[in-house]
């Protein structure tokens, strides 16, 4: 294992760009730098996230802030943004470039929003969807929309691809938030219950709060001073597993995937890219890490 291995993921986002670019004029010379750009922007945000959350492990590997301190992590993230920016510049497509920067603005203001709402228990489902749309789905939408733009897709097709990316991204983040409760540290590559520990209210904990208004461990973590956090997190995980809420969350994620796939109907049908994008949607809800 080498430095930064924890930041190498499944490559879903660049795959989305390449697949989204296959419906019209598949221009690999432009799609490849775009795909690299999307993945590097993602990596840069992870490096900054880890510095902010003071996380020490990602995908079973030490984080940059753990290895070199948060100061180097800030600068390393900035450097990765610059490399992402160079790649998107290589597309020489002003619309894709503008969208890239615009998306970085949405992601960072989404992260500020999440930071400011930490340990705030009064959040609605709409707040949640808005928050994960900003911090996660907007990058999926950038990946798919630029695939359309760079392959000269007509506007309705570009709209469909963006919508697919948006809904896929929301489903992806919901599954991420479920796994934070239902997985284990070995599979996840980081401690379970991190969201609760950091005071980030996600869909499972929201539903838990609604279903058990009294003696709720989530409420205890968020509102009680001097609470034994690790114990309450364990309690929340046990309660969630017996509550039926996991299934409910998966149903909501599946619903977003269905809406993602429905958005593909405007694209040329019967192609292998259609199938691949639908397959990716199914993968997102089935994944275990």
Q: How far is the CB of 75 from a second copy (least distance, A)?
A: 5
**Closer residue to a second copy, CB minimum distance, 130 or 243:** 130
Question: Judged by CB, which is closer to a second copy: 37, or 173?
Answer: 37
Phi/psi at 38 (nearest 5 deg)? -60, -45
Q: How many residues does the chain have?
A: 289
Q: Which is nearer to a second copy, 17 or 103 (CB)?
A: 103
Task: Compute the least distance from the CB of residue 93 to a second copy, in Å.
Answer: 9
| Integer CA distances (angstroms), 197 to 63, 194, 207, 229, in order | 18, 5, 17, 7
Cβ 71 to a second copy shortest distance, Å: 4
CA dihedral sign, ordered 139, 144, 148, 150: positive
Q: Give the residues lining the site for a second copy (CB under 8 A).
A: 45, 48, 51-52, 70-72, 74-79, 81-86, 88-90, 92, 94, 97-98, 100-105, 107-109, 111-112, 115
Which are the contacts of 167, defined by CB distance < 8 A and separation ≥ 6?
137, 256, 257, 259, 260, 263
Closest CA to 17 of 3, 5, 6, 28: 28
Q: How far is the CB of 223 from a second copy (least distance, A)?
A: 21
Contact 91, 34 (CB under 8 A): yes
Residue (85 or 169) nearer to a second copy, CB: 85
Nearer to a second copy, 89 or 129 (CB): 89
**Cα separation, 5 vs 64, whole angstroms:** 10
Positive or negative CA dihedral for 175, 180, 186, 191? positive
Q: Minimal distance in Å, beta carbon 84 to a second copy?
A: 8
């Amino acid at each position: 294992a080498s430095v930064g291995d924890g930041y190498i993921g499944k490559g879903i986002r660049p795959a989305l760009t390449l697949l989204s670019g296959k419906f019209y004029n598949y221009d690999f010379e432009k799609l490849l730098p775009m795909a690299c750009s999307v993945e590097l922007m993602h990596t840069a945000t992870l490096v900054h996230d880890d510095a902010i959350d003071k996380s020490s492990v990602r995908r079973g590997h030490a984080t940059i802030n753990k290895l070199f301190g948060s100061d180097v992590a800030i600068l390393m993230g900035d450097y990765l943004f610059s490399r992402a920016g160079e790649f998107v510049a290589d597309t020489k497509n002003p619309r894709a470039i503008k969208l890239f920067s615009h998306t970085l603005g949405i992601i960072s203001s989404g992260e500020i929003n999440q930071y400011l709402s930490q340990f705030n228990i009064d959040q609605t489902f709409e707040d949640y969807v808005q928050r994960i749309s900003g911090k996660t789905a907007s990058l999926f939408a950038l990946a798919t929309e630029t695939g359309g733009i760079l392959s000269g897709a007509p506007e309705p097709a570009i709209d469909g691809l963006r919508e697919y990316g948006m809904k896929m991204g929301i489903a992806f983040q919901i599954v991420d938030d479920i796994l934070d409760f239902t997985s284990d540290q070995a599979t996840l590559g980081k401690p379970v219950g991190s969201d609760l520990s950091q005071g980030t209210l996600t869909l499972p904990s929201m539903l838990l709060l609604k279903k058990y208004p009294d003696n709720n461990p989530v409420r205890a973590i968020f509102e009680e001073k001097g609470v034994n956090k690790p114990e309450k997190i364990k309690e929340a995980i046990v309660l969630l597993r017996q509550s039926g809420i996991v299934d409910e969350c998966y149903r909501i994620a599946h619903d977003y995937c269905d809406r993602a796939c429905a958005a593909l109907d405007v694209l040329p049908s019967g192609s292998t890219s259609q199938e691949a994008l639908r397959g990716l949607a199914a993968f997102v809800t089935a994944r275990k890490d």
